[in-house]
Amino acid sequence: MFSRFREPTNSRPGNLFIAVYDIGAGIQTTLRDQLQGCAERFAQLGDDIKELLSLGDGRKLQQVLLKHAIEHQRTSTGLAFRGHGLPEMRDFVLQTATGRLYIISGGAQYSCSPAQNVSHCITCAPAFPGTLILWDLPFRAKELAP
């Protein structure tokens, strides 16, 4: 994990950039294993995701699972305070004018940028294991005043 803070000035906004790399199995693998291992959770999915899960591990499945994990609260523990991180990161960025969120996992990349009115998932070549999260949040000078 690393971060960078750029101090805002009167002429330009600042920003907080946070990068987190989790070298684990990846969002899609974990989510797919959770869903297939629990009939109750599987039953809650839409028919489109159920159909994709039955097809195997294709590129479209990578996109759908990543998007589902980011746009819906989900946890394998069943604890009410778990599973909110990715949706809350996305919601926070959507409340800004210039924030950005990129999540790369498996063979998919999720992008969220309210300034460009973009929130979508695309396929990409799986270049590394696990998940990389890039989060860029704007700061104005008045937000730092005591």
Structural domain boundaries of the chain? 18-144
What is the rounded CA–CA span in Å between residue 71 and residue 145? 33
**Token match 């270049």: residue?**
127
Q: For 67-99, how does the pLDDT look when each residue is reduced to its tens digit (9 = 90+)?
A: 888 887 665 556 666 567 888 899 889 988 889
Residue 55, burial from CB neighbour count under 10 angstroms (0-12, 13-18, 19+): exposed
HSE at residue 113, side-chain half, CA atoms within 13 A, is: 10
* pTM confidence score: 0.76
Q: What is the pLDDT of residues 90-141, one digit of tens each?
A: 988 998 888 999 999 988 999 999 887 778 888 888 888 999 999 999 987 6
Which pLDDT band, with edges at 50, 70 and 90, does 46 fall under? low
Q: In the predicted model, what is the mean pLDDT of the chain?
A: 79
**Long-range own/partner contacts, residues 112-121 (CB < 8 A, 24 or more apart):** 119/90, 119/94, 121/63, 121/64, 121/66, 121/67
Closest by CA to 66, choosing from 77, 54, 74, is 74
